[in-house]
């Protein structure tokens, strides 16, 4: 296969992520500095010895025994900003979660809850409805998956929780998180989205399913056919809730809620909540707990630049960025699927490896691109807004708006694809004459500054 073909496979070359600029044909290499198993063990050892000498410490030391058996992943020791470090100091143990769930959490590499997890998990466990807003990449997924997994009774073979998301790729990613966090539990997680065989889903639903993750249209289809039974579903999570309330999705979401019991709990999460969601909130949420962790809107770890260009100079400008920037992995956004395909072709002609993805592609192909890009098979991904929300690829340190987005919500979600979990990242916007007012109004709405790109960019601001 041609390594350079858009959407094709690529090689993995570990040295590239650390070299200056981007080699032609270079593939991605998530270049995290990793901690040894010994250091991991020391981490638990330190916590164990901090317990003191009372009887409580005996209890603690016995409770710590199981921890020494955990198979922890290597720690990600990159620099993190206050977006994730400024917590209240809770521990996951504080929430009295099932032991097997705690094991899954720690084995996923989560040491302590992030702020949104500290706020949401205890409240969700009480059964209260929640409307929660927190910045991109600060851990909203686990903030709803952990209480969902905790509340599910694995001996009761009915669907007890549904997680709705707006895109198929996000559904796959979220179901994977549920499976990983719940890997020591006996909870059956099923993912169901459009673009896959309905028949397969029907067959699967004849087996036990406790937690269903999917896109609204397909779940509604299955519910209407009486195959997907939601009368015992006590929890509905709406991730990217504002997107799920856009005209494309809201009617399906409301019909789905009608299949659920009257006392179901609803958890709504997003980084953006335009005022238009108020009507839905007032109609369906019962005295919800409103959590808003966005005192400022943009991530502290992301530096935003613009380059003023003419439309015909954009590819040349991108070429310059590729040669100058220290890109670990990048996501490049265009405003239409046609422009995605054209740009991917141009990038390939320039000699850089790139994949592309958009909603008009066959689902199998989409899945392959998503999977391979996540695994570092290619350094650059060109896409439409299909990948704007929720997609979590830790190795992405650069986002490029080849086409500038139309509104501030889209801008915020797009740039949030880098700088995941408080890490550093760069957002570069190619701005044409026509975009200039839009950029100004997005800066105003987000209360942020997009600076003119300097001739050289200090690597410390996006590679630490």
Ligand X SMILES: Nc1ncnc2c1ncn2[C@@H]1O[C@H](COP(=O)(O)OP(=O)(O)OP(=O)(O)O)[C@@H](O)[C@H]1O
Task: Give the integer Cα–Cα distance in Å for 440 and 444.
Answer: 6
Nearer to Mg ion, 182 or 390 (CB): 390
Judge contact between 357 and 370, C-beta under 8 A.
yes
Binding flag, residue 301, ligand X (CB under 6 A):
no
- Judged by CB under 5 A, does residue 140 bind Mg ion? yes
Positive or negative torsion for Cα 41, 43, 48, 49: positive
- Residue 314 has which token pair? 């954009």
Minimal distance, residue 395 CB to Mg ion, in Å = 17
Q: Does 164 bind ligand X (CB under 6 A)?
A: no
**Among Mg ion, ligand X, none, what binds residue 394 when CB lies within 5 to 8 Å by partner kind?**
ligand X
- Provide the Cα torsion 117, 123, 124, 126; round to 10°: 150
Q: Which of residues 260-299 bind ligand X (CB under 6 A)?
A: 271
Nearer to ligand X, 142 or 191 (CB): 142
Report the C-alpha gap between 279 and 250 in whole angstroms.
Answer: 12
Q: How far is the CB of 75 from ligand X (least distance, A)?
A: 9
Cβ within 8 Å of residue 253, ≥6 positions away: 164, 216, 238, 244, 245
Q: Which of 421, 427, 442, 462 binds ligand X (CB under 6 A)?
A: 421
**Nearest one of 328, 326, 387 to 356, comparing CA atoms:** 387
C-beta of 136 vs 384, nearer to ligand X: 136
> Which CB, 253 or 331, lies closer to ligand X?
331
- Residue 416 found at the interface with ligand X (CB under 6 A): yes
How far apart are CB 58 and ligand X at their closest, in Å?
Answer: 28
CA distance linking residue 442 with residue 417, whole number of Å = 18
Q: How far apart are CA 175 and CA 190, in angstroms?
A: 7
- Find the binding residues for Mg ion in span 382-421 (CB under 5 A): 390
- Whole-number minimum distance, CB 114 to ligand X, in Å? 5
**Given 3-state DSSP classes, what are the helix, strand and coil percentages for the chain, each rounded to the nearest 5?**
40, 15, 45
Bridge partners, residue 189, by sequence = 211
Smallest gap from residue 142 Cβ to ligand X (A): 5
Token output for 195: 């673009």
Stretch that binds ligand X, among 58-66, 139-147, 188-196, 248-256 (CB under 6 A): 139-147
Is position 139 an interface residue for Mg ion (rule: CB under 5 A)?
Answer: no
Distance set, CA 462 to CA 79, 80, 172, 437 (Å): 10, 11, 28, 27
Report if residue 394 touches ligand X, rule: CB under 6 A: yes
Q: Out of ligand X, Mg ion, none, which partner does residue 7 contact, by CB within 5 to 8 A per kind?
A: none
Tallying the residues shown for the chain, one arrives at 464
Of the candidate residues 30, 139, 376, 405, the single one contacting ligand X (CB under 6 A):
139
Closest-by-Cβ residue to Mg ion is 390
Say which residue the tokens 């504002």 belong to: 242
In Å, what is the CA distance from 36 to each residue of 5, 65, 66, 75, 77? 37, 20, 20, 8, 11
Taking CA atoms, 82 is separated from 41, 114, 409, 419, in Å, by: 26, 10, 22, 12
Between residue 345 and residue 364, which ones bind ligand X under the rule CB under 6 A?
none
Helix, strand, or coil here: 348? helix
Residue 110 contact among ligand X, Mg ion, none, beta carbon within 5 to 8 Å by kind: ligand X
14 or 73, CB closer to ligand X?
A: 73
Residue 166 in the binding site for Mg ion (CB under 5 A): no
CB under 5 to 8 A by kind: which of ligand X, Mg ion, none does 423 bind? none
Q: Smallest distance, Å, CB 189 to ligand X? A: 16
- Closest to Mg ion by CB, 116 or 285: 116
By CB under 6 A, residue 179 contacts ligand X:
no
Q: Residue 133 interacts with ligand X (CB under 6 A)?
A: no
Applying CB under 6 A, the site for ligand X has a residue count of 19
416 binds, among Mg ion, ligand X, none (CB under 5 to 8 A by kind): ligand X
Burial 375-409 (b: 16+ CB within 10 A, else e): ebbbbbbbbbbbbbbbbbbbbbbbbbbbbbbeebb
**392 binds ligand X per the rule CB under 6 A:** yes
**Site stretch for ligand X (CB under 6 A), options 136-144, 146-154, 156-164, 348-356:** 136-144
Q: Which one among 7, 17, 104, 137 touches ligand X, defined by CB under 6 A?
A: 137
CB neighbours of residue 461 within 10 Å: 13
Site track for ligand X across 88-127, x = CB under 6 A = ----------------------x--xx--x----------
Query: In whole angstroms, what is the distance from residue 115 CA to residue 155 CA?
Result: 32
Radius of gyration of the CA atoms of the chain, in A: 22
Footprint on this chain of ligand X (rule: CB under 6 A): 110, 113-114, 117, 134, 136-142, 271, 390, 392, 394, 416, 420-421
Footprint on this chain of Mg ion (rule: CB under 5 A): 140-141, 390
């Amino acid at each position: 296969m041609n390594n350079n073909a858009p959407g094709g496979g690529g090689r993995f070359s570990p040295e590239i992520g650390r070299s200056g600029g981007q080699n032609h044909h270079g593939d991605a290499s998530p270049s995290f500095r990793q901690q040894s198993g010994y250091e991991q063990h020391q981490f638990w050892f330190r916590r164990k010895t901090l317990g003191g000498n009372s009887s409580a410490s005996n209890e603690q030391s016995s409770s710590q025994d199981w921890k020494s058996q955990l198979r922890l992943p290597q720690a990600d020791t990159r620099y993190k900003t206050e977006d994730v470090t400024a917590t209240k100091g809770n521990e996951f143990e504080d929430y009295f979660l099932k032991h097997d769930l705690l094991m899954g959490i720690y084995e996923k590499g989560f040491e302590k809850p992030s702020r949104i997890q500290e706020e949401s998990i205890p409240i969700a466990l009480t059964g209260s409805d929640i409307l929660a807003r927190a910045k991109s990449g600060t851990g909203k997924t686990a903030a709803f998956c952990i209480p969902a997994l905790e509340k599910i009774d694995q001996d009761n073979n009915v669907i007890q929780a549904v997680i709705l998301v707006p895109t198929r790729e996000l559904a796959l990613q979220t179901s994977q998180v549920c499976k990983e966090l719940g890997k020591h539990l006996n909870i059956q997680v099923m993912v169901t989205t459009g673009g896959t065989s309905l028949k397969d889903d029907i067959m699967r639903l004849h087996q036990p399913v406790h937690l269903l993750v999917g896109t609204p249209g397909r779940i509604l289809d299955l519910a209407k056919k009486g195959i997907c039974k939601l009368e015992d579903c006590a929890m509905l999570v709406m991730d990217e809730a504002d997107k799920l309330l856009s005209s494309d999705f809201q009617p399906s979401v409301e019909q789905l809620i009608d299949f659920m019991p009257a006392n179901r709990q609803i958890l709504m999460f997003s980084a953006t909540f335009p005022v238009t969601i108020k009507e839905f909130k007032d109609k369906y949420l019962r005295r919800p707990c409103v959590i808003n962790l966005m005192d400022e809107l943009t991530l502290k770890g992301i530096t935003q630049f613009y380059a003023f260009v003419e439309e015909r100079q954009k590819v040349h400008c991108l070429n310059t960025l590729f040669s100058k920037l220290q890109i670990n992995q990048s996501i490049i956004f265009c405003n239409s699927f046609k422009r995605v395909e054209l740009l991917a072709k141009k990038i390939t002609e320039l000699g850089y490896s790139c994949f592309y993805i958009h909603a008009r592609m066959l689902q199998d192909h989409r899945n392959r691109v998503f999977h391979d890009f996540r695994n570092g098979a290619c350094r650059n991904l060109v896409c439409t807004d299909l990948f704007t929300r929720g997609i979590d690829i830790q190795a992405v340190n650069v986002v490029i708006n080849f086409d500038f987005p139309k509104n501030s919500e889209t801008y915020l979600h797009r740039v949030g694809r880098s700088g995941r979990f408080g890490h550093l990242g760069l957002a570069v916007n190619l701005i044409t004459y026509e975009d200039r007012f839009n950029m100004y109004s997005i800066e105003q709405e987000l209360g942020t500054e997009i600076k003119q790109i300097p001739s050289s960019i200090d690597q410390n601001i996006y590679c630490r």
